[in-house]
Amino acid sequence: MGRFRGVELDGLRLHGERLLLRPWAPHDAGRVAEVMQDRSMHRFLTLPDPYTAADAAHFVGEVTRSPRAEGSGLECAVVEQSSG
């Protein structure tokens, strides 16, 4: 399990009044794939083109897990508290 300055990152969730920052989960892949269909995303991010459901599954299932596990990053899904 990844630790940063004594804090376990693996399951860390950060709560605010409006937002929740939480680890990415497999069920997020569909929404990620949907959002990444917006062509403007390609201006700011290095993405596969076309961005597929398999790319999204790889992102939420593998890419976002390594930094937490190594204690070197805290990739988070940003979730609006009121709507989920």
State pLDDT tens for residues 19-75: 999 999 999 999 999 999 999 999 989 999 999 999 999 999 999 988 888 888 889
pTM of the model: 0.81
Task: Give pLDDT, residue 72.
Answer: 87
CB contact burial 40-79 (16+ within 10 A = b; e otherwise): eeeeeeeeeeebeeebbbebbeeebeeebeebeebbbbeb
